[in-house]
Structure 1
């Protein structure tokens, strides 16, 4: 089989199954690991797939705007990449710490999975996440209030003023998109000042970005990539992204499903 035929067939299989790994390419086409990786690099360059740790995923379009009243509780099923990242993030919370948890789906999964043995004070500006946390005896909850959006979030002037008066040990943040050149970005400019205020009040800022958000950009920049002390993502993140992040000094912790 010629190279072009092999690469075309790799894309076909990938689109049918949703994922392909280097060892599969070796076995199916009788090629070396280096040859398989070269095929994936070439196909990624053409925009036909997205390379990951040890394999590839189908190419994805730019993220879409969320529904106006969407909350993480509305998800029809658990998003495994998000859950894996959330559980990895929980490993960084120490006893008696004060932490901010993002309003995103990752934050929701973090709230659901906080162990009963972990005594922690959690700041949140999400009604949905606050409702989860209020049922956990191990958690003290500080709700950052203000004028509420249709999605149950607060991030107006009053919310910003409140968070500026609280010392935070660690902030776990996630936004619509994250790229190394544009940093963290969101669709709605109303959340920019709040995001910046959280990071200024926190001793350690941790980005929690599932691979679906990596390498994409939205409209309004919240922070530079280098503003994070740590980035947590999953094993489906592009290998090129992880290499470039390491080269620019961004510390990454890649959560593996096997660790779950």
Structure 2
């Protein structure tokens, strides 16, 4: 394998694992640690990763680019999830909606409801729901993350900590029995944890492509959710492992 091919494969491994150690790369590529450290230095110069002690991690921007691209995939599965999860909403509920492509599909299912209070940090969800005069809509203030259509930061957290709602619907970047629900950075972890703390019940919307994977920051254990909604692509092994951790799972088809 040529050096450039190996470096492309290293980036592919990082997109799956988010961080990796040189010793793991030695097992995968069967080349010396010195050669791999050279690869990592060159990839860091190109702005594709950040070297850490003994390995490397994917840069946050690359993680977020992957999230945006994944949001364009699995649309049918996300619609199934949204159409099933909507049965858990009743009139006069107050809801927190996390930012994400699956929660956006869920928000679209809310458009025909009456007498709901919805709070979100997602700009696109807010634009969808503001068309319905029967929904009392709140957009969480704070710093806008350019190109990612959401707000976060200290102002956002202060807002969330001063409200109390019935239910929150969250979308993780990744989910596994071993690592729990994870997201790409510390700011998003703080946001999701604040939303859960302000809600009586927490629900997860997670298409199967995210299951069995992990992102950089853990924000919750599987047992902290009343229900997780996913599609039929989840493996039996992952389903059983999550259930052993106390997670209730609904398969949406």
Using the size of structure 1 for normalisation, the TM-score is 0.69
Higher helix share: 2
**Hey, what does 1:66 align to over in structure 2?**
64
**Hey, what does 1:144 align to over in structure 2?**
140
Is 2:243 aligned against 1:246? yes
Cα 1:211–1:204 change in 2 (3 A) is: same
1:178 alignment partner, one of 175, 178, 202: 175
Q: CA separation in 1, counterparts of 2:191 and 2:224?
A: 15
Root-mean-square deviation (CA), in Å?
2.3
2:84 alignment partner, one of 81, 84, 88: 88
**Hey, what does 2:213 align to over in structure 1?**
216
State the SS of the aligned residue for 1:145.
coil
Cα 1:78–1:167 change in 2 (3 A) is: same
**Hey, what does 1:51 align to over in structure 2?**
none
Using the size of structure 2 for normalisation, the TM-score is 0.70
Is 2:139 aligned against 1:132? no
Q: CA separation in 1, counterparts of 2:145 and 2:199?
A: 24
**Hey, what does 1:4 align to over in structure 2?**
none
Which sits farther off after the overlay, 241-250 or 82-91? Answer: 241-250
Within a 5 Å distance, the mapping from 1:176-215 to structure 2 comes to 176-215=173-212
How many correspondences in the alignment? 192
Is 2:112 aligned against 1:116? yes
Which sits farther off after the overlay, 172-181 or 238-247? Answer: 238-247
Deviations 1:78-123 (A, max 9, x none): 7111111111111111111001112110111111122524431111
Instruction: Indicate if the aligned counterparts of 1:71 and 1:152 stay in contact, CA closer than 8 A.
Output: no
Q: CA separation in 2, counterparts of 1:186 and 1:88?
A: 24
Structure 2 residue ranges without an equivalent (≥5): 1-61
Structure 1 residue ranges without an equivalent (≥5): 1-63
